[in-house]
C-alpha cells in the first residue's frame, strides 16, 4: 500500500467523492467508483485522527485524497500531507499574502518551508520522500468571494499553487444572495469561468462542483480538471428517503402486490 497522487496534466476530468462522516467503510465500499476522494474536515464531522483514518482507507483502495482542513491552519496542512494525503484544498483564500502563507506550509524549500520528518509518509515512501513531494502533492486554493475571484489570475500565477477551486455557497452568501439561489451560468457562471480561465492560462488544476445539471454543464464547458460529483451525505439521504417513500407507498396501497417494490439489494 502506498499513497496515490493526482496525475498532471489531467487528460480527462477526474471525478471526486466528498466525505464528511468519519466512516472508513464508506470509502472502502463506494470510493472505488470515483477517481479521487475529498475529505472535508472544514465542514464535515471530522477531527484530525478521524481524517487520518480516512486517508488510510483511501490509500488502501488506491485513490488519491485531497483534504480540506478546518481553515488556513498550517499545522493541519503539513500533518495531513505527512499522513499521506495527495494534497489540500485550503478554504477562504482572500489575498496573495494568505496564499503565500499556505505555500510555505505545503511546500518544501525552495518553494516553501514545510517541515521534514512525517512519520507515516517516511514509513510508506522512505526518508527521501521530500525530494519529489512538491511535485507529487498539490496545493489548491478555494476562492469564495468576488474579491477573491478577481485575484484568480494572480493566485494561479504563484509558484507553489497547483490549482484553484470555486466555493459556490459562500460566494452566493457573500454577494448578498440566498444559498438556495440556483447555481447556474446566470448566477455563478462568470466566477466559475474566471477561475477556469486563470487555471488554464497558468496550466494549473481547475476544480469545481458538478453535482447538479447546471453545475455539471459549467464544469464541462469551462474545462475543469477535478470535479466533485457526489458525497456520502447526499447518497445516504437520497437512498434512505427513496426507500422510505417506496415502502410507505406500498403499505398505503392495498392493491399493490409484493412484486411492486424491489427487489432491492441491502449490501
Residues with active-site annotation: 43
Phi, psi at 165, each rounded to 5°: -135, 125
Of 10, 74, 70, nearest to 42 by C-alpha is: 70
Of 227, 223, 263, nearest to 243 by C-alpha is: 263
**Which region holds residue 104: left if phi is over 0, alpha if psi is between -120 and 50, else beta?**
alpha
Cell numbers representing residue 192 in the block:
466559475
Q: How far is CA 30 from CA 43, 51, 125, in A?
A: 21, 17, 26
Instruction: Give the separation between CA 104 and CA 18, rounded to whole angstroms.
Output: 26
Instruction: Give the separation between CA 254 and CA 73, rounded to whole angstroms.
Output: 58
Amino acid at each position: 500500500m502506498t499513497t496515490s497522487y493526482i496525475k498532471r496534466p489531467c487528460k480527462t476530468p477526474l471525478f471526486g467523492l466528498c466525505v464528511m462522516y468519519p466512516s472508513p467503510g464508506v470509502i472502502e465500499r463506494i470510493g472505488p467508483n470515483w477517481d479521487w476522494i475529498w475529505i472535508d474536515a472544514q465542514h464535515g464531522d471530522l477531527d484530525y485522527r478521524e481524517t487520518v483514518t480516512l486517508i488510510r482507507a483511501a490509500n488502501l483502495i488506491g485513490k488519491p485524497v485531497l483534504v480540506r482542513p478546518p481553515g488556513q491552519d498550517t499545522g493541519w496542512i503539513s500533518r495531513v500531507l505527512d499522513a499521506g494525503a495527495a494534497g489540500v484544498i485550503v478554504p477562504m483564500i482572500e489575498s496573495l499574502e494568505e496564499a503565500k502563507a499556505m505555500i510555505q506550509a505545503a511546500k518544501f524549500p525552495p518553494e516553501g518551508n514545510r517541515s521534514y520528518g512525517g512519520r507515516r509518509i517516511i514509513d510508506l515512501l522512505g526518508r527521501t520522500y521530500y525530494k519529489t513531494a512538491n511535485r507529487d502533492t498539490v496545493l489548491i486554493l478555494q476562492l469564495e468571494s468576488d474579491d477573491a475571484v478577481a485575484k484568480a489570475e494572480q493566485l494561479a500565477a504563484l509558484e507553489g499553487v497547483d490549482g484553484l477551486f470555486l466555493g459556490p455557497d459562500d460566494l452566493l452568501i457573500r454577494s448578498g444572495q440566498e444559498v438556495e439561489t440556483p447555481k447556474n451560468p446566470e448566477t455563478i457562471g462568470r466566477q466559475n469561468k474566471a477561475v477556469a480561465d486563470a487555471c488554464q492560462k497558468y496550466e494549473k488544476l481547475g476544480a469545481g462542483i458538478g453535482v447538479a445539471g447546471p453545475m455539471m454543464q459549467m464544469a464541462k464547458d469551462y474545462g475543469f480538471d477535478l470535479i466533485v460529483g457526489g458525497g456520502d451525505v447526499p447518497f445516504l439521504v437520497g437512498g434512505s428517503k427513496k426507500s422510505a417513500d417506496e415502502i410507505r407507498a406500498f403499505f398505503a396501497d392495498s392493491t399493490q402486490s409484493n412484486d411492486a417494490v424491489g427487489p432491492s439489494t441491502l449490501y
